[in-house]
Amino acid sequence: MKDIYLTKDATGLAALVETGEATPDELLDIALELTAERNPALNAVVHQQEAVARSAIQSGLPDGPFKGIPFLMKDLGAEARAYPTNNGSRLFADMTWGYDSEIFLRMQATGMVNFARTTSPELGIGPVTESQVYNGPTRNPWNTNHTSGGSSGGSGAAVAAGIVPAAHGSDGGGSVRIPASSCGLVGFKPTRARLPDGPQAGEGWGGMAIDGFLTRSLRDTAALLDACAGPDLGAPYAAPPMPCSFMQAMGKDPAPLRVRYSHTTLSGGTLHPECIAAVDATSTLLAGLGHEVEAFNPGFDLNVEAMMMAWTKIVACGTALSVNGKLGGSPLDPTMIEGVTRGAIAYAETVSGADYLAAVNEVHAFGRRMSRALVDCDVLVTPTLAAPPAVVGQFKPDNDDFVDYRNGPGGVFEYSPFTAIFNASGQPAVSLPLHWSADDLPVGVHLAMRFGEDAELMSLCGQIERAAPWWDKQQSLVLGGVRTG
């Protein structure tokens, strides 16, 4: 059964459970065995809760689309009583929750079997997963000298390595799409508020953050989004209704679209040649599918830098709020948090209430600028990142200068210049595994559409997957095992 497990996505495994060809306990045994075999090289799976998983199976799993399928939750958010968390931080190590979040309850209702959490950078800061609480970095299964991304880096590594077919993530500035690009996976960020945030939060990071999933197949992503979408009770706002389900959208080709691509960042910055090659190959594919393909020209300065600086202020204030809430008035031992987190707290102290409100206003103003830029464009195609996956240590979170770490030369925004744009605008965006570099590292392609057009974006993704399937490439890693650098 282990050989079969490694050749199936979550939907395929669920079909085996439904017919009785596999049992939830049997699949959990395999997932635990693979964790023992593959996780030591990755450092991606933490807080294993086998007893909780076995108890859930014994008590009777819900009859959802993923009944009996082993699953992993990010070690940040997805609050659940039975699953302790570190939030990626020594300061929060082994913290427990007194309630179950709505996103967790919806995931549980699919019938999946959660048995552990996956690593995250401290409080979700950064495009890599290298937090001291895990005693080492999380590594990329395609080449362990490279990062699996962040902040859902543990989920990306675990799914790409075949430990589980799908895992939970969250995305406040690319944290699902960055590991999807780095690990050769599907990472879909839906429109703002498409997924629930409650009960304890109305929104995350000024409306920029949202949950999501890392999967190897598009149909798993579609089914998970269908199962979890919709506002929770008391949500302050909701995404526009969709004309059909994600699964229905995935199965039908879109009408011819006006596709626009970019060979630079949206500020005119340079991209790695492999990233340009990924965009060109995708543009050629889309033209062959009947879409109108042209270079992107917004016609005015989007002023991405202003939005990025505003977002840096919002994240700094959110980080300080989390740390101060945990301390409850007690003094902070600076060795308990990363340098970047110390820097965020120090920077937040310089941000006034008026500064914070101005930053939120700038983020929403940027969303309006992006909407104007896409009036004559149905889908924008870029690489997900400006370069292939970084080497481990390149973005180590030990820089006490928070602004420099994120906005400075060689910083986070140079490496990830596209993803946060669509957290700010709230638009749906996806990273698809459509390119691998000459040295066999994944290079994701990023596609984004207008606010609320999740179904149209999913239809385009389905058309692309049918025309240029990526499953066999992923299987070369899943079946061959982690590749050490």
Residues whose CB falls within 8 Å of the CB of residue 268, separated by 6 or more in sequence, listed in order: none
74 catalytically annotated: yes
For residue range 298-340, list pLDDT tens digits in order: 999 999 999 999 999 999 999 999 999 999 999 999 999 999 9
Is 151 among the catalytic positions? yes
pLDDT given for residue 343 in this prediction: 98
Of 120, 148, 155, 175, which is the active-site residue? 175
DSSP 3-state of 234 = coil
Contact between residue 172 and residue 423 where contact means Cβ atoms under 8 Å apart? yes
Helical segments of 253-352, H only: 273-288, 304-327, 339-348
Cis peptide before 151 (omega within 30 of 0): yes
Using N-to-C axis directions, what is the helix angle for 454-467 and 218-228, rounded to 10°? Answer: 160
Q: What is the pLDDT of residue 201?
A: 85
Instruction: Write down the pLDDT at residue 231.
Output: 96
Average pLDDT of 391-400?
Answer: 97
**Residue 430: CA count within 13 A, CB half-sphere:** 31
Residue 32: enclosing H or E segment and its boundaries? helix 24-42
What pLDDT, in 10s, does the model give residues 283-296? 999 999 999 999 99
Q: Quickly name the fold that domain 2-480 has.
A: Amidase signature (AS) enzymes (3.90.1300)
- Given the residues 74, 101, 120, 425, select the one marked as catalytic: 74
Catalytic: which of 120, 148, 151, 181?
151
With a cut of 90, say whether residue 124 has pLDDT above it: yes
pLDDT in tens, 402-461: 999 999 999 999 999 999 999 999 999 999 999 999 999 999 999 999 999 999 999 999
Please, which pLDDT band fits residue 394 given cuts at 50, 70 and 90?
A: very high
Phi, psi of 84 (to 5 degrees): -60, 165
89 is catalytic: no
pLDDT band at 202 (very low <50, low <70, confident <90, very high): confident
Query: By percentage, how much of the chain surpasses pLDDT 70?
Result: 100
| Tokens 């650098």 belong to residue | 485
**For the chain, what are the domain ranges?**
2-480
Q: Residue 199 pLDDT more than 90?
A: yes
Give me the half-sphere count of Cα atoms (radius 13 Å) on the Cβ side of residue 480: 12
- Cis amide prior to 231 (ω within 30 degrees): no
Backbone torsions φ then ψ of 155, nearest 5 degrees: -65, -45
Kindly provide the b/e burial profile for residues 177-204, where b requires at least 16 CB atoms within 10 angstroms of the residue's own CB.
bbbbbbbbbbbbbbbbbbbbbbbeeebb
Percent pLDDT > 90 in the chain is 99
The predicted-structure confidence for 233-260, as pLDDT tens digits, reads as follows 999 999 999 999 999 999 999 999 999 9
Angle at CA of residue 92, ends 88 and 96, nearest 5°: 105
Q: At 485, is the pLDDT very low, low, confident or very high (cuts 50, 70, 90)? A: confident
pTM beyond 0.75: the answer is yes
